[in-house]
Amino acid sequence: MDSEMLEKAWEEVCSQVKGYNNIDPTQINAFFSRLHPQAMSEGFLMLTADNDFIKTWIERHYVEVIKQALNDLYQIPYTVVIEVDVTAAQPNVQAPTAASAQQPAQVSHPTANAAAPQLAADATAAAAATAQITPPAAQPLSANTVVSSASAVPEVEPFGSSSNQVYPDPIRDDRSPYATSADVDEMGKPTSSLTFENFVIGDSNRMAYSMAVAVAEMPGKAHLNPLFIYGKSGLGKTHLMRAIQNYIIETLPHLTTIYVDSAELLSDYMEASAAHDKEKSSYKNFKTRYEDADVLLIDDVQYLQGKKQTLDIVFQIFNKLTSQGKQVVLSADRAPKNIDIDERYKSRFNSGGTFDIQPPEIETKLGIVKSFVEEYKLNEGIHELSIPDDIQLYIAESSSSNIRELKSAVTKVIYQMTFFNQPDLSLDDVRHLLESHFSGGPSKRLTIADIQKEVENFYKISHAELIGKKRTRNIIYARQIGIYLCRQMLDLPFNDIGKQFNRDHSTVMYSVTNVEEKMKESRELREELEALKQLIREI
């Protein structure tokens, strides 16, 4: 099969997959664009992926769907083999079309009735015939936070002081709004410390990380334009935004890249429009600055809700850039559908790739702690500094999902060990040092009242309505969600939950079962519940 026929057949398979129930076409566009057909014959299809993560994700979640699509199209069962082609996503891509240069190899394959061992052998031979394919390289763990050198001894009191001392945070803010000469050094290298190399990857952020890398390598691809990353404060959204900016500055220096926080954008717009004359140079310069960007990154767009004029301007700029194939990246602390803005903005924000960052699991937080300590040792030249494993684990387990709180706790311990000459801090010492530091973690005992309050705020109903007798649709919905979350997050008996909602055992059981059934069918409900859980965890 020649390359043109092969590409056409793959397009038909993709279209078939997107037509199935419970398949999100946006996700298919995002992932399948990272797959490239290499060989196809009767009962056999070989694909290559840009990296090992994409390969593994497709194998776990979509291989059976691809097989089903092939079966439906050609009426015979297919074997699908996926390998990694590391040349398809080189880190120093110089042009958006670089990945399209690879040519598929023609590989013959016996019919689908061949024995399984023979299929495996032929798949291996097919892989060998494709010259570009090499085994996947292991991805090293990298840090989500970076420490910069402290210029002077901080003004803090010795361990055991009774005052509520605020310790300085040695982490750079990295929020300068524009990629001007201030963002690069004399060699043209980015000055911001937030890069892909020092981002700790875990299950909670792997998807968003992978899509951010895809955009940085090849900005402007339609299926990821815009790229929308969302998650609660302190989970690493700004890190990924800055990493995209830095990667493009370094590898594609001919592109104009602008990063701006929505607060900066709003202030910039207010200053530019203060003269109320759109012919004035200040206003023209404001709009031109953004419209001339090849890559525009806007952080924390939820702060633009209620700012109609600014949103209108952003929407105009957004549409102009994306229509020209220029890349837009947005971030927020919630999904587009949960931002209180006009429906047309939500639809456009959601039209590319939308990916969330979940609160980090213990392993990821521990990885961040270790990377933080190593970075500090490197920056300060204190190679003998060592924080015992039990103290590192205590910090990871006790901190909330906010990485800034985690960094601050490590900083506090480091300063105590170094500036106050207490290198042998014990775990009990650290517990005492950080006893008032953490806002959440295991020390916080969650209650039914906590969950009820967050549900009431989220769905904008009163406590009396939540536990009362009203049966309007929105109240019943919120009540069942509250009951479900109490059961799942607190693992309390149905009777105990029922007493707090003025309901009996059977009503509570029905509510939980009903929500569980709806979750199976609704991705939006699953996202909504996850957003609520995040709010509750951060109480």
78-123 tens-digit pLDDT: 888 888 775 554 433 333 333 333 333 333 333 333 333 333 333 3
CATH, range 3-129: 3.30.300.180
Confidence at 403, pLDDT banded by 50, 70, 90: confident
Instruction: Report pLDDT for 66.
Output: 93
From the options 3.40.50.800, 3.30.70.1710, 3.40.50.300, 3.40.50.720, give the CATH code of 205-356.
Answer: 3.40.50.300
Question: Do the Cβ atoms of 294 and 257 come closer than 8 Å?
Answer: yes
Confidence at 302, pLDDT banded by 50, 70, 90: confident
Three-state SS letters, 220-247? CCHHHCCEEEECCCCCCHHHHHHHHHHH
As separate numbers, helices (DSSP H) first and strands (DSSP E) second, the chain gives: 21, 8
502 Rama sector, left if φ>0, alpha if ψ -120 to 50, beta otherwise: left
Comparing C-alpha atoms, which of 376, 87, 443, 367 is closest to residue 201? 367
Burial of 44-78, coded b for 16+ CB within 10 Å and e otherwise, reads: bbbbbbbbebbbebbeeebeebbbebbeeebeeeb
Residues of the chain with CATH 3.30.300.180: 3-129
Distance CA 232, CA 397 (A): 18
35-41/44-49 β-pairing: antiparallel
Residue pLDDT, tens place only, 360-371: 888 888 888 888
pTM, 2 dp: 0.49
Residue pLDDT, tens place only, 462-475: 999 999 998 899 99
Inter-axis angle of helices 389-398 and 362-380, nearest 10: 120
Distance CA 173, CA 194 (A): 10
Residues of the chain with CATH 3.40.50.300: 205-356
Range scoring the smallest mean pLDDT among 127-136, 332-341, 342-351: 127-136
Residue pLDDT, tens place only, 166-207: 333 333 333 333 333 344 444 444 545 788 888 888 888 888
Burial zone of 291 (CB within 10 Å; 0-12 exposed, 13-18 middle, 19+ buried): middle
Residues of the chain with CATH 1.10.1750.10: 448-537
End-to-end CA distance of the chain: 59
448-537 CATH fold: Chromosomal Replication Initiator Protein Dnaa; Chain: A; (1.10.1750)
Please tell me whether 237 is known to bind a ligand.
yes
Burial zone of 158 (CB within 10 Å; 0-12 exposed, 13-18 middle, 19+ buried): exposed
Instruction: Report pLDDT for 247.
Output: 92
Cite the beta strand spans of 401-511 per DSSP E: none
In residues, how long is the chain? Answer: 539
Please tell me whether 234 is known to bind a ligand.
yes
Please tell me whether 188 is known to bind a ligand.
no
Residue pLDDT, tens place only, 428-460: 888 888 877 776 544 356 789 999 999 999 999
Helix (H, G, I), strand (E, B) or coil at 473: helix
Please tell me whether 284 is known to bind a ligand.
no
